[in-house]
Structure 1
């Protein structure tokens, strides 16, 4: 082989070696980036773990003792409940938010609800039974107290504070669940966070629904009673559910029984009860979520297609939307043509959740005639006013002509 061919071969080898070195350098850079990314992710994971982990501050024994201590309902606790119900009822009647908040702060209703969640989490059937009995007693006493107040008090009317507790929606579910989470996390922490407990008592609003239910009983308004008790049930279930979940995550020790057969039986009962509580909670969440979607689309339909239509005189009512019967009742203070009814039906069908609803138009032709009469009267009044203005101007012109002639 000649020297020239050897030289060419060495150049090819050098080029290949350079390519190999470049590939190695690229791989080394990629590996360095991967290591840096892994270290960054590990640092972020460590930071978030230290930031959000609350298990180290948990005092399991003190938490169980504190929750059990708040369950009994007798003596001073009963009188405190009666007083808080009276205060809340007065606040609802006077439409005073501040008074209602004060009543929620002194209410002892939260104890048995936490007891239910805790007893399910640790398989304590005796505590569960005591919690349910005390909660039922509190509910009956609260309803009776509110009923007597609104039955005997002469100044009772449907205030906005009362109306706000009769139509629960998805926000009430979320408030109850996350409020319950905050409450039980504060309870499990070493050293009770009183401000959190007071804040949750205000946010979840257990007292006002019971007072509103008592108002419904006193006035024979079953819609008020049913809506308020539904809201109270939502709050109770989701606070207990949040308590159950947190205590299971924190791995609170299960109650041990000497008899293994009894232990298994109690465990099955507690598990079954937890499932029974969770199924209504899920069903309630989905139902309220769907009703909220109906309400949102109905409000959008009314705003975009009715209130913005100058040819329609809409009379909004509380029962315009009936999600149970899938009916939309629209009331108009005036006549509505067949073409307009068809147009409203087509507009309604553009909303996916309202397509299955039946649209019922309630028109008032008498109101329509009244409205035309009022418009005619206003037109006559405007003409009379204009005539008076014209007469005044003509008088001024005549006086000016006389002055010019004299000049």
Structure 2
């Protein structure tokens, strides 16, 4: 590569150095530490600890090594590094599962948000991974910009999805564990492809492709990478489309609940719709009339007549259709509006109207 110094080119292509055994020992140690930090950070639901795991993770270097080997047409080395990265990923998932198992985390507790955040990959994650791959390869070539490397490591998530996958397998959530693994696969393929593009731009193509065999090897390896990414993109496209449908459905259900309750004030705490599983989770708070505070009755008897005329389940079935599993969590409260210094007590205004006025 004529545009790069010999030392830089050598460090990119042969990043292990002269003592390869020592490098891979350091790699194994850092990867183990990174998985431990990421797993514990997720269990504690700490984003800062998870970011620390991204900085410690050593996976970016061999992934960039795959790209550089592909550009040079070294298929055997590219396959060796790809197998190494995949093996490291598999062992990272097992280690995360083992850590949670040893910690004896109760399976009945809620899964932390930091874990669930890695279970919904979309096309935007592919774009981030492509940009991070460009940044990492650029920093690797231009050593003067080495201070930017931590930013590239944080920008793309490599170890956290693997840790999340192990945690989710422990919690008995194989479908979500697959989604976390899909996020890692997205990052892996996108980084390789974008790094190849950077190396080609910064290298002398006439030297790189001087031999027909080398050019053929590079073309074949890029084709395999593109095919791998195509499969990933199909999965991401489905996830993104499902997310779009779920967002629209949640908005429709929220509006249907408000229309059903009007003029009674209903505060919607949470609506979570899963189109793939045909499951919906609703958290609602219904404001009872003031006189309910002075009555002794069943909850149904305290509800306003308008809410009893049309059951909420009928409204939900009209919006979602039959076959959905609906979990509704609701509580009642007394809503009153007072004017201090007077005996003026009225029904509290609707929560949504108060939010709009503020």
TM-score normalized by the length of structure 1: 0.62
Instruction: Kindly state the Cα deviation for residue 57 of structure 1 after the two structures are TM-superposed.
Output: 7.3
Instruction: Kindly state the Cα deviation for residue 108 of structure 1 after the two structures are TM-superposed.
Output: 0.7
Per-residue CA deviation, residues 30-73 of structure 1 (Å, 9 max, x unaligned), is xxxxxxxxxxxxxxxxxxxxxxxxx9974465134235215955
Instruction: Kindly state the Cα deviation for residue 251 of structure 1 after the two structures are TM-superposed.
Output: 3.4
> 1:113 touches 1:135 (CA, 8 Å); kept in 2?
yes
State the secondary structure of the residue aligned to 1:166.
coil
1:281 aligns with 2:233: no
Corresponding residue to 1:175 among 128, 139, 155: 128
Instruction: Kindly state the Cα deviation for residue 301 of structure 1 after the two structures are TM-superposed.
Output: 3.6
| 276-285 or 194-203, which deviates more | 276-285
1:272 aligns with 2:226: no
- What residue ranges of structure 2 are gaps of 5+ in the alignment? 285-310, 337-342, 345-358
1:162 aligns with 2:111: no
What is the CA–CA distance in structure 1 between the aligned matches of 2:163 and 2:103, rounded to whole Å?
14
What is the CA–CA distance in structure 2 between the aligned matches of 1:308 and 1:319, rounded to whole Å?
14
Instruction: Kindly state the Cα deviation for residue 320 of structure 1 after the two structures are TM-superposed.
Output: 2.2
1:337 paired residue number: 314
In the superposition, relative to structure 1, how do residues 294 and 148 fare at CA in structure 2: closer, same or farther (>3 Å)?
closer
Per-residue CA deviation, residues 169-202 of structure 1 (Å, 9 max, x unaligned), is 122111100010111111112x252222111111
What is the CA–CA distance in structure 1 between the aligned matches of 2:55 and 2:173, rounded to whole Å?
28
1:131 paired residue number: 81
| 194-203 or 287-296, which deviates more | 287-296
Number of residue pairs matched? 296
1:185 aligns with 2:135: no
1:360 aligns with 2:322: yes
> 1:320 touches 1:329 (CA, 8 Å); kept in 2?
yes
Q: Quick check: which has more Rg, 1 or 2?
A: 1
2:274 paired residue number: 320
- What residue ranges of structure 1 are gaps of 5+ in the alignment? 1-54, 346-358, 383-388, 391-407
| 241-250 or 205-214, which deviates more | 241-250
What is the CA–CA distance in structure 2 between the aligned matches of 1:319 and 1:306, rounded to whole Å?
9
Looking at secondary structure, tell me which structure has more helix per residue: 1
Corresponding residue to 2:255 among 308, 312, 334: 308
What is the CA–CA distance in structure 2 between the aligned matches of 1:162 and 1:77, rounded to whole Å?
24
What is the CA–CA distance in structure 2 between the aligned matches of 1:111 and 1:223, rounded to whole Å?
30
> 1:120 touches 1:274 (CA, 8 Å); kept in 2?
yes
1:215 aligns with 2:179: no
The structure, 1 or 2, with the larger RCO (C-alpha pairs under 8 Å, 6+ apart) is: 2
> 1:330 touches 1:360 (CA, 8 Å); kept in 2?
no
Instruction: Kindly state the Cα deviation for residue 331 of structure 1 after the two structures are TM-superposed.
Output: 6.0
Instruction: Kindly state the Cα deviation for residue 267 of structure 1 after the two structures are TM-superposed.
Output: 4.3
1:239 aligns with 2:239: no
Instruction: Kindly state the Cα deviation for residue 94 of structure 1 after the two structures are TM-superposed.
Output: 0.7
Give matches, 1:47-58, under 5 Å: 58=4
What is the CA–CA distance in structure 2 between the aligned matches of 1:187 and 1:213, rounded to whole Å?
29
